[in-house]
Every structure is written in C-alpha cells, then in structure tokens.
A = this chain, B = another copy of it.
Amino acid sequence: MVNHMVQHDTLDRIYSALADSTRRDILTRLGEGPASIGELAEPHGMTLTGMTKHVRVLEDAGLVRTEKVGRSRQCRLGEERLDDAMAWISFYQRLWERRLDGLEAYFTLQRGTEE
C-alpha cells in the first residue's frame, strides 16, 4: 500500500518514454530539426491526437521541448541529455562485468570458448 505513490521517478519516465519505437523515431526525426505535430504524425499514419500524446510523454521526460507557434506546435529536442539513463546502464554494465569475476566465470568462459 505504501508504494502506491507517484511512479514519476525521472528514470522511470525516461526509460518508459524510450520503450516505444514510435517515440524513438520521433527523437531521431527531431535530431534533424524541429517539426510540428502534423509533420511528426504523417510518416506514422497516425492521428494528430495520437501524436500529441506521444510528444507529451517525451516532453514529460524532458526529452522534447515544445512551443506553440501560431496554430501549430513546434517540437524540438529537449534539455534532458540521458546522462542519468546512460549512467545507470553503465552501472549495470559494471555489475555484469563483475559477475565474470565470480565462480560463474569458469562456466561462462568454458561455454564460450569450448577450450
């Protein structure tokens, strides 16, 4: 019951924002320059409403920044540089490497090298 609080942890938001190929595509597209909701939606054959939701998720994660310009919304890459996300993965990589320092290294290496 205690843990029913907001799951709005930064890392949670970033990773779940990235856990969707449409949203990763959006980031890639925005890497080439700003775009409107319509321009983002068109290559995915998606409704504007649907795309707005995706952009909102990315914006909440800090990965995208948007600004209303006239009747359209200009979307561009945001300030979040994924440093935290990267750092956590690096940390995990280190754990994984350390796993090889244990007893399992023996079996893993044997299975890998067949020597």
Binding site for B on A (CB under 8 A): 2, 7-9, 11-12, 15-16, 18-21, 24, 27-28, 30-31, 33, 76-77, 81-82, 85-86, 88-96, 98-99, 102, 104
Taking a contact as CB atoms closer than 8 A, the residue among B81, B92, B99 that contacts A96 in the complex is B81
- A11-B21, A19-B16, A21-B9 as given contacts; A93 in contact with B98, CB under 8 Å: no
Residue in contact with A92 in the complex, picked from B31, B76, B95, CB distance below 8 Å: B31
Interface SS majority for chain A: helix
Counted per complex, copies of this chain come to 2
Tell me the complex Cα distance, A89–B24, Å: 10
Residues of B contacting A91 in the complex (Cβ-Cβ under 8 angstroms) = 28
* A21, B90: Cα distance in complex, Å: 16
Tell me whether B82 and A92 are in contact (CB under 8 A): yes
For the complex, give the distance between the alpha carbons of A15 and B86 in Å.
12
B92 touches A27 (CB 8 A): yes
If A8-B21, A31-B96 are given as contacts, then 10 extra A-B residue pairs at C-beta distance below 8 Å, sorted by A number, are A2-B28, A8-B24, A11-B19, A11-B21, A12-B19, A12-B21, A27-B92, A31-B95, A82-B96, A86-B90
